[in-house]
Amino acid sequence: MQPALAIEQLSKTYEGGFQALKDISLTVQPGDFFALLGPNGAGKSTTIGIICSLVLKTGGKVSIFGHDIDKDFSQAKQLVGVVPQEFNFNQFEKPIDILIHQAGYFGIPRDVAIVRAEKYLRQLGLWDKSHVPSRTLSGGMKRRLMIARALIHEPKLLVLDEPTAGVDIELRRSMWEFLREINASGTTIILTTHYLEEAESLCRNVAIIDHGKIVKNTSIRELLAQLNKELFVLDIRDPLTECPEIEGYPLTLVEPNTLEVEVEKSQSVNHLFEVLSGQGIQVLSMRNKTNRLEELFFTMVEKNLTGESHD
């Protein structure tokens, strides 16, 4: 089976001489939910721009389901839907017209486009706004409109560049649910995001890009398995005046009723609870303080900055 996306030795140098991508290679399998992570200016948007033909590559090869974007331009484009980072629709047009026009650019007959536009506007909770000028929509609605527009030609590969930026938590969760459904129906999804929790929650595989290079390309599960330690927050019943000391478990008293503890992967939390219990300290609840993926991300980007080698 052809990969949904195959990038080989892709490079991009902008007019001013800035090298945004340095011979990156990447493969995304059909049906995957793939995260492309990286700090600002790492090359994520340039990569996405090249995939959807908004940025001209300097070198390398990009294929979408086996169709080269240079040699088989039309076929490749039919298979991709893109949701860019910034709003890029005519603010004076109505959402329904934006979707019907986009369908038309992909050669979809108007009667089919009208039915599909209604379907996606309803699915994304925008049907009651379908006939108002799109400039009057809220930020979250505009993002959903761009998702509907990207889906109107029913692409096999959906590329989203920070789709939930600036979206409130409730809406973000509903968008996640929608994207999961789209993915479950067979659409391959590539996502860039600053919310690492989003990548951890949605994606199966991940590539971390930094300074135009892929510094990690693996599954989320394998990535998380590389974590050596985690920081837990313990809510305790009776207030403490002094921080307890337990060998091998560095504890910090954050507030009289809150302790923080660093636990290495090889250590058992059972032993920690036993010792605390022995000291008369009752733990009411425990939660993970740091976002696990976020911690790894920073470690990798930091390593890349200091020039360490990576696989």
Question: Rule CB under 8 A: which residues touch another protein?
Answer: 14, 49, 52-56, 73-75, 77-78, 80, 82, 84, 86-92, 97-98, 100-102, 104-110, 149
- CB neighbour class for 264 (10 Å; exposed up to 12, middle 13-18, buried from 19): exposed
**Can you name the residues that pair with 5 across neighbouring β-strands?**
28, 64
135/310 with CB nearer another protein: 135
Calpha distance 159→7 (Å, rounded): 14
59/256 with CB nearer another protein: 59
The minimum distance between CB 109 and another protein, in angstroms, equals 6
The minimum distance between CB 40 and another protein, in angstroms, equals 17
133/244 with CB nearer another protein: 133
The minimum distance between CB 4 and another protein, in angstroms, equals 17
Nearest to 99 by CA among 119, 79, 84: 119
Contact assessment for residue 85 and residue 160, using Cβ atoms and an 8 Å cutoff: no
112/254 with CB nearer another protein: 112
The minimum distance between CB 15 and another protein, in angstroms, equals 8
Contact assessment for residue 243 and residue 252, using Cβ atoms and an 8 Å cutoff: yes
86/238 with CB nearer another protein: 86
Calpha distance 83→76 (Å, rounded): 16
Calpha distance 91→94 (Å, rounded): 8
The minimum distance between CB 84 and another protein, in angstroms, equals 7
- CB neighbour class for 49 (10 Å; exposed up to 12, middle 13-18, buried from 19): buried
The minimum distance between CB 54 and another protein, in angstroms, equals 6
Residue 86 DSSP class: S
CA 145 to chain centre: 18
The minimum distance between CB 33 and another protein, in angstroms, equals 21
Q: At what angle do helices 169-184 and 139-151 cross, to 10 degrees?
A: 10
* DSSP code string of 100-135: HHHHHHTT--HHHHHHHHHHHHHHTT-GGGTTS-GG
77/292 with CB nearer another protein: 77
The minimum distance between CB 36 and another protein, in angstroms, equals 18
17/107 with CB nearer another protein: 107
Residue 291 DSSP class: -
Nearest to 298 by CA among 223, 243, 234: 223
134/205 with CB nearer another protein: 134
The tally of CA atoms less than 13 A away on the side-chain side of residue 152 is 31
